[in-house]
Amino acid sequence: MFLDVIQKSNYNLHIDVEQESYYNVTLDVMQKSNYNMHLDVIQKSYYNGYLDVIHKSYNNGYVDVIQKSNNNMHLDVIQKSYYNGYLDVMQKSNYNMHLDVIQKSYYNGYVYGIQKSNYNMHIDVIQKSYYSGYLDVIQKSNYNMHLDVIQKSYYSGYLDVIQKPNYNMHLDVIQRLNCNLHLVVIQKSNYNLHLDVIKKSYYNSYLDVIQKSNYNMHFDVIQKSYNNGYLDVIQKSNYNMHLDVIQKLNCNLHLVVIQKSNYNLHLDVIQKSDYNGYLHVIQKSSYNMQLDVIQKSYYNG
């Protein structure tokens, strides 16, 4: 069966259509319209074979689409738009084989994305945005193998994230934030193996945390704060083995605590306070063995 249509109309401008059909074989459409601008379409179809589309529009902008499909074989798309901005998309798909996307947008900003996917193999994303700030994302994933993320943002501050997880193997994070403060986080995790954290904050104060944990093995914390005072904490814990704490506070007073505990073995405390007086405590306890206390107080006397 053969169908051939040629149509022209000078209504507001003109429309030209050329169509050929061989039923379940080929469909060829060429359409042009200069209504508000023009619209060009070239479409070919071989039923379960391939589809080729070229689409152009100048109605308040520009749209360009090239699409090819071989049923479950591949799909290619190139799309461009100039409607108050710019959009560029290139997408390729080989069914469960791969998917590639390149996208650009200039709508009151800039977005740039590159994405690749090989089904359960990998996904790569590069994205940049300049909408009152800057965003840069690089992400790679090999299904349950690894995921890498690099993200930067300059929207009234700075955010930098580097994250790498190898499923249950490890997770690395570096995060920085400068939105009226400064935050730095370095975190590493090997599932039940270890966790390391370094965090710094400069929001009218200073916070420094170093934390290490090997599941039930050990836990180390170093924390410093300068918010109208000084706080210094060093804490170590080996599950039920020992706990060490050194704490200092200078907020109109002075507090020093050194505490050590070996579960049911012993507890040592040294505490000093200078808040309108002086308090000094040294306490040692070996569970039900001994308890020693030295306390001095100079509060108005």
pLDDT digits (tens, 9 = 90+) for 13-72: 444 455 555 544 444 555 555 444 444 555 555 444 454 555 555 544 445 555 555 544
Q: How far apart are CA 282 and CA 290, in angstroms?
A: 13
Distance from C-alpha of 33 to C-alpha of 55, rounded to nearest angstrom? 11
- Given a contact cutoff of 8 angstroms between Cβ atoms, the answer to whether 202 and 182 are in contact is yes
pLDDT recorded at residue 121: 42
Looking at residue 80, its pLDDT comes to 57
pLDDT in tens, 135-162: 445 545 444 444 445 545 444 444 444 4
pTM: 0.25
Q: What is the pLDDT of residues 121-141, one digit of tens each?
A: 444 455 554 444 444 455 454
- Angstrom distance (rounded) from CA 68 to CA 49: 10
* Structure confidence at residue 11 (pLDDT): 46
pLDDT band at residue 114 using 50, 70 and 90 as cut-offs: low
End-to-end alpha carbon distance in the chain: 112
Instruction: Identify the pLDDT of residue 1.
Output: 39
Residue 68 confidence (pLDDT)? 58
| pLDDT above 50: residue 110 | no
In order of 6, 83, 108, the CA distances from 62 in angstroms are 25, 7, 17
pLDDT tens digits along 266-300: 445 555 555 444 445 555 555 444 545 545 554 44
pLDDT at 133: 43
Report percent pLDDT > 90 for the chain.
0
Q: Is the pLDDT of residue 120 over 50?
A: no
What's residue 135's pLDDT?
Answer: 45
Whether pLDDT at 189 is above 50: no
Cα–Cα distance, 226 to 206 (Å, whole number): 5
Question: Which tens digit of pLDDT belongs to each residue from 61-106?
Answer: 445 555 555 544 454 555 555 544 444 555 555 544 444 555 554 4
